[in-house]
Structure 1
Amino acid sequence: MDKRIFSSQPLPFISPEPAAPQVFDDPAKAVDALKALYKRNTDFLIDAFDAMTKGVTPGTRFRAFYPQVSIETSSFGLIDSRLSYGHVTSPGVYATTITRPELFRYYLRQQLDLLMKNHGIKVTVSESTTPIPLHFAFGEGASVDAPVAELQDVQLRDLFDTPDLNTTDDEIANGNYEPEPGEPQPLAPFTAQRIDYSLARLSHYTATSARHFQNFVLFTNYQFYVDEFCRWAREQMAAGGNGYTEFVEPGNLITHAGERNPSEGGPPRLPQMPAYHLKKKGHAGITMVNIGVGPSNAKTITDHIAVLRPHAWLMLGHCAGLRNSQRLGDYVLAHAYMREDHVLDDDLPVWVPIPALSEVQLALEDAVEEVTGLQGYELKRIMRTGTVATIDNRNWELRDQRGPVKRLSQARAIALDMESATIAANGFRFRVPYGTLLCVSDKPLHGELKLPGMATAFYKTQVSQHLQIGIRAVQKLAEMPQEKLHSRKLRSFFETAFQ
């Protein structure tokens, strides 16, 4: 190995030879350089770890660093004010650490290309000063699990860098990050170690690799929707794909276009929040995740999917209808959210309004019209637009109703669930376009409770149509120019250049 010794620790460090900074005016070549540097440094750590598992006892520690990309501009660029990303707000030096550049190659090329064009600058690829934790060097591969388990934690900490939660946070995305004097401004909303943490969590929670996630995400809180999505996705594969290339299920089971059954992956595994991916080139397909019930799950999964920088996520689920004029099976298109879920209060105070995004709202309304065949005033018969309240207590009906019902009435709420406002709020927080289309499955304020027999009949008749509306909506969003979809409503006063 090429070696670099650090003597400032109890044991000296061995690292790869320092990589000289490289300057590029071609985004593809810059991404290739990031890939090469990342591979060199992670291979170094993996080789060192493999030597240890074979009985080699070193007298040194091993350290390698994340690559980084940086820019410097001395003037304000002439930026089209309609663009919400792809430019910096003021002259200066900007940088971000990079992980898994192969996974993010489409995203990185696009972001760097915009910066180069908007500011007339070149980008620099170099090594950062942030060490790569050993666990993350292996990516999502299971090969690290057993060997790491055989070593004592103290050995790992003595010989390798391990994940450091003190430097893994959402300060940049939350708008709380203040660089030290002389430190570059952040170029992206997430650092490399924060991304690596989420990629590992995604694999754990969904039982699918992060590389399978698509840029358009459907969340649901019922397995019925997943069953229908799987049925429809297999139909697409059997018919040759219809533009989709693969269908991936938990366990990374892969059915290729033209096939009827999985030919790769396994064994299947159902985790806490299983994910299913109908893939297109460039991550342009659809991912569906069954997040289960509750705002905690909704926050957890969106915290992690956000690092993949999707183009939109939508909630398709069931809700309690709060108005007597609603019927079971009616749709609710959320245009405002009443947040009583509490899981995001520390990150996004409840006084922050969560605006409806016109591009998403129109796509959902148009999709309802297309799938149901209803238009104009007739469409209003089955769909209402209004405020959705999200709470953290599934058995809210058992409480004294005077307080909750009064608040719901004051907010003009028309529906209540346990996930929608959380998903929308985290979309707002992480600059991911969001939307909600719910289906009324019970009316507890009017004596129509969700009982087993009634629910079963409802699911059989309504799930397929609701899912097809969601699929059509994300297809419409996918046809939209990205600069139109990523609304300026989601950008704060001082933003990172990366979308």
Structure 2
Amino acid sequence: MSDDAAAPRRFDDAAAAVAHAAALYDAACARIRDGLAALEAGTLRGPVDACYPFVEIEVTPQQLNVDARVAFGAALDAGRYATTLTRPDLLGDYYREQIALMIARHGSAVTVGVSDQRIPAPFAAEAQITALSPGAAARLPDHFALPDLRRIDDAIPNGTHAPAPGEARPLALFSAERTDYSLARLRHYSGAGPQHFQSFVLLTNYQRYVDGFLDHARAQLGRDGFTALVEPGEVVTRPGGAEQGARPAQLPQMPAYHLQRAGGDGITLINIGVGPSNAKTITDHLAVLRPHCWLMVGHCAGLRRSQQLGDYVLAHGYVREDQVLDYDLPIWVPVPPIAEVQVALSEAAARVTGLRGQDAKTRLRTGTVVSTSDRNWELRFRQNATALNQSRAIAVDMESATIAANGFRMRVPYGALLCVSDKPVHGEIKLGGMADAFYRERVRQHLMVGIETLRILREEGVDRLHSRKLRSFDEPPFR
């Protein structure tokens, strides 16, 4: 690409701005691929200059449009805002939407150009790098940028980023390099590329929910706009049952299953396993895709004698004993329930169970959930009893508070509907035979409540879902 073509250009049309950014990005990736071929051939001389595109907008005091109804897509203060961009093929719709809102609300054009941030070669040509000979691979750092963890952090979503004098304020929560890092991690952990992920996400920790989801997904293909089911290894099933792709010999750490709709507003279900570490890991990376909602549908220990095995717990508060997010989000920060999600969960439970009003209270209880990092918390019940009592907790699990807290931190609407699988405080521990009977009876209904919740949220419209309570007073404009 010539210097003139790479020079910064101003746009008052979001589609044209993103198209230009895509051309700049594609040209940079082509230079990386050509450079890798030359490296293998032994003809490469000097570093390969391939940088991310950027988008920038300047908002004057006269152009501020402080509308109390707006949760995103507007600058809260006058100034210059910028971010680097990556993967326009994947994130183009998101970029177009956010840039269009900024142009419309502030009446200011955006500038698109080439940043000074080099694209790490593994993010642009992973397969080509993997195929390099050992000698060429050893020379890779001499010619190409590699991922640099000194630049890849969460200072912006954590609210700790402070622009240097003269530096633009962040336009988005994630830089291009931070985004690329997570896109690569998603493929590694889930077994499929990020292009398959949908904007509504269910997180679970039991294989039986996966089995139920697969049965449901196959039955839905060709209905309600669902076009394909993608499983780990990128095995694709389309309406009629035709299956393409080879199943992996082993499942990845957190396998994901994608019931796709045109436009990407289908459902992704991820089996995150047990514990807060995986819950944080996967949501750290999901966040760069800017999903509309993630929900936990898992199991918990009931703490009240009146609860029965198979009852539902709708979390409206959390005690964070998971410890994995304490550095990023101090434990004194409240994690509020998202009203739109809570209402949808309650309505979905009523539709699926057929219970409403006082009858619903026989199966569904709303309250505080304690999420712990200790799977054998029951063995320390005497030490924990006072704290559990003071918190008014009605259930204990290992993931819900992590998922909610990371949703709050990453500005992704969240919720948790749990199912009581044991009551260790009252002598009903999880034994093999009891667990099998419980799973057979309750898993499908619980899963269907989660799926119905996401359908309600989708049909009600996602704009109202992105709550202002997730936004700070010093916030990047992009959602």
Equivalent residues in 2 for 1:210-225 (5 A)?
210-225=194-209
Q: Secondary structure at the match of 2:415?
A: strand
Q: For residue 212 of structure 2, give the secondary structure of its aligned residue in structure 1.
A: helix
**Equivalent in the alignment of 1:427:** 407
2:102 and 2:249 map into 1 onto residues whose CA distance is 42
- Given the alignment of the two structures, is residue 146 of structure 1 paired with residue 127 of structure 2, yes or no? no
Q: Is the 8 A contact 1:299 1:426 kept in 2?
A: yes
Deviation at 1:263, TM superposition (A): 2.2
Give the counterpart of 1:308 among 289, 292, 312: 289
Equivalent of residue 73 in structure 1, options 43, 54, 59: 59
**Counterpart in the other structure of 2:188:** 204
**Cα displacement string for residues 372-414 of structure 1 (whole angstroms, at most 9, x for unaligned residues):** 0111000000000000000001011123x22211111110000
SS in 2 for 1:427: helix
* 1:13-412 aligned within 5 A: 19-53=6-40, 55-75=41-61, 76-138=63-125, 142-147=127-132, 150-151=134-135, 154-237=138-221, 240-256=222-238, 258-264=239-245, 266-267=247-248, 269-399=250-380, 401-412=381-392
Q: Give the CA deviation at 1:482.
A: 2.6
Q: Structure 1 segments of 4 or more deviating over 3 A? A: 141-144, 151-154, 264-269
Secondary structure, in 3 states, of the residue corresponding to 2:243? coil
Question: Does structure 1 conserve the Cα–Cα contact (< 8 Å) formed by 2:66 and 2:76?
Answer: no
The question of whether the paired residues in 2 share the 8 Å contact of 1:277 and 1:285 is answered with yes
* Per-residue Cα deviation, 1:258-315 (whole angstroms, up to 9, x for no partner): 2214224654651000000011122111000000000000000000000000010000
Tell me, what secondary structure is at the counterpart of 1:458?
helix
Amino acid at match of 1:233: A
- Please say if 1:418 is aligned against 2:418: no
TM-aligned CA deviation for residue 56 of structure 1: 2.2
Contact 2:303 2:395 in 1 (8 A): yes
Structure 1 residue 82: Cα displacement: 1.0
Counterpart residue type for residue 471 of structure 2? R
State the distance in 2 between where 1:430 and 1:248 align.
26
Q: 1:498 to 1:231 in 2, by over 3 A?
A: same
User: What corresponds to 1:453 in structure 2?
Assistant: 433
* Gap change, CA 1:212 and 1:496, over 3 Å in 2: same
Supply the RMSD in Å over aligned alpha carbons: 1.5
Identity over the aligned pairs, expressed in percent? Answer: 54
**Native 8 Å contact 2:38 2:44 kept in 1:** no
CA contact (8 A) 1:273 1:291 kept: yes
Q: Which runs of 5+ in 1 are unaligned?
A: 3-15
Q: Is the 8 A contact 2:36 2:128 kept in 1?
A: no
The aligned residue for residue 442 of structure 1 is 422
Cα shift at 1:429: 0.2
Report the Cα offset of residue 422 of structure 1: 0.2
Residue deviations 1:102-124 (CA, integer Å, cap 9, x gap): 10011111101110111011111
C-alpha distance after superposition, 1:107-158 (max 9, x if no partner): 11110111011101111110011010111112xx5343232x7346651111
Corresponding residue for 2:451?
471
- CA, structure 1 residues 447+271, in 2 after alignment: closer, same or farther (shift >3 Å)? same
How many angstroms does 1:63 deviate by? Answer: 2.1
The question of whether the paired residues in 2 share the 8 Å contact of 1:207 and 1:269 is answered with: no
Contact 2:260-2:267 at 8 Å conserved across structures: yes
Q: Encode CA deviations 1:445-479: one digit per residue, 9 max, x unaligned.
A: 00000111110110000000001000000111112
Which amino acid counterpart does residue 462 of structure 2 have in structure 1? Q
Q: Which residue of 2 aligns with 1:12?
A: none
Q: 1:247 to 1:80 in 2, by over 3 A?
A: same
2:300 is paired with a residue of what secondary structure?
Answer: strand
Give me the TM-score of the superposition, normalised by structure 1. Answer: 0.93
Query: Is the CA contact 1:83–1:483 (under 8 Å) kept in the aligned structure 2?
Result: no
Distance 2:279 2:244 in 1: 32
Distance 2:137 2:368 in 1: 49
Which secondary structure does the structure 2 equivalent of 1:352 belong to?
A: coil
